[in-house]
Amino acid sequence: MGSATKLAFSVFLISCSSGAILGRSETQKCVHYNYSPSSSSSVAGVEGRGNVSGVMTCSGEKDKRLHCFATWKNVSGAVQVVKQGCWLDDVNCYDRNECVEKKDAPEVFFCCCEGSLCNDKFYYSPDSSQPPPTTNKPVTSPPPVLTTLMYSLVPIMAVTAIILFSFWMYRHHKLAYPPVLVPTQDPGPLPPSPILGQKPLQLLEIKARGRFGCVWKAQLLSEYVAVKIFPIQDKQSWQNEFEIYNLNGMRHENLLQFIGAERRGSNMDMELWLITAFHEKGSLTDYLKANVLSWSELCLIAQSMSRGLAYLHEDIPGHKDGHKPAIAHRDFKSKNVLLKSNLTACIADFGLALRFEAGKSPGDTHGQVGTRRYMAPEVLEGAINFQRDAFLRIDMYALGLVLWELASRCKAADGPVDEYMLPFEEEVGQHPSLEDIQEVVVHKKLRPLLRECWQKHAGLALLCETIEECWDHEAEARLSAGCVEERVVQMQRQTSVTAPEEIVTVVTMVTNVDYPPKESSL
């Protein structure tokens, strides 16, 4: 009888605890504080702190629990608050009424809790093993009626507990990685970015998968970031992209902002992370699939994209950060162009990029790399001149194809807008072989179709000429990225002063327009 009672009571506790785990927290508000080095230091005792910035209301997905958190440092025996605010659904914070750090002597203290304003006070209390409390009270046998009731409820409670526990396990493992502090491990020869420090980083959802791994949307304190995760087999691509991002002068509004890099795990289970800015609109490919463009939107994307590529290609000896070398992307395509919230473009994915520094080897100059449908004719033929300008011209061929993608989804022309298609998709389908592309691009010298109706729009007519000069079969005849940027500016000026009834006149006179000169030497 006694063992049956204990079993029933254990199942009851499991059921209750599972229900507590699944229950929604009533957390609504948290103390918000953000340390700024330029302001006076915020120093307080272990049980609180001064200089509160305010109280913030937390919000999140319906099925997520909300918590509060606090991070602080011990500076010469005094507590310096780093950050306080809201924290997403984290099993380590469940049912904690107080904000307590239990790790033994961490470099940065971190705690989280549930309850309105529960992070107003925070504590440091290292774990200490204490024996469980004992009792000398005698155990009395339950009456027969209670025993019978317990026997009846045990199967029901056991099934309920198993279901609840299984559901909790499912929710708990929805994210492939738990919340962590960045960085948690020594990145080896590559120093971690000082921007990251020891800030909490939490992976949220996978946004894209590619040849070299997957890209996660993640939360770094109160900001969203992108985390690109490489398997150990693609270490060379991760290493190269890290080194490109860390070159002098690589901070530019039209290049993806780099935040940090690190290694996770060990041996064959190691993962290589790159942390960058996150842009909700995603890649240009994805945006064009779901949206058509106005003429002004096309010009904005084309101008900012060509400006970013021109800056990447440029050698700048007198840059304020030091000598910025010329860089060839080598995998330029619409999938590697990201759109910011204002539709300006920034270039991403430098895993195959080459840098050209005086007196140094540019690295692996294997010619036939990149995405097949965007490969220039000389790449497909294996006839590359392994000089800097030759690699920059390969990027310009791909830029011409991306400009065609923009034109194909623009509603400015007097004609229907087709469904989005990749370059050469009409000719070779979605998954062409290298031989298919070689046949179309090299032997037949075909290019994606420039619609007849585009020629009836003053701006698109100029864009078509620019596209044709970018994807010219002769590499030396192609425009430079800087020249393309100037052309787009000229298109905007041309169309901004053109009334609808004047369009035909402008098109007939387009050959008399003075274009920016081609830059044959790039």
Catalytic residues: 331
**Letter for the amino acid at 26?**
E
The tokens describing 231, both together, are 């398997």
Question: Which residue, among 16, 97, 36, 26, has the nearest Cα to 58 in the 3D structure?
Answer: 26
Strands 271-277 and 223-231, sheet pairing: antiparallel
For 97, the token pair is: 């009424």
Assign 225 to helix, strand or coil.
Answer: strand
CA distance 405 to 419: 11
For residue 236, the one-letter residue type is Q
Does residue 183 have a cis bond before it (omega within 30 degrees)?
yes
Q: Which two tokens stand for residue 248?
A: 């002098």
Q: Which long-range contacts (CB under 8 A, 24 or more apart) does 138-145 make?
A: 139/2, 141/1, 141/2, 142/1, 142/5
State both tokens at 93.
């914070």
Would you say 404 and 448 are in contact if contact means Cβ atoms under 8 Å apart? Answer: yes
For residue 283, give the nearest of 330, 339, 332 by alpha carbon: 339
**Nearest residue to 434 (alpha-carbon basis) of 388, 335, 367, 386:** 367
Percentage helix, strand, coil for the chain under 3-state DSSP, each rounded to 5 = 35, 20, 45
Candidates 256, 257, 181, 194; CA nearest to 221 is: 181
Quick one: which H or E segment has residue 237? Answer: helix 235-245
Q: Is 14 exposed, middle or buried (0-12, 13-18, 19+ CB in 10 A)?
A: middle
Total Cβ atoms within 10 A of residue 27? 22
CA dist 18 and 176 (Å) reads: 21
- Which H or E run includes 209? strand 199-210
Spatial CA neighbour of 302 closest among 436, 401, 443: 401
Residue type, 382: G
Show the tokens assigned to 238.
């991760």
Give CA–CA dist 438/347, Å, rounded: 27
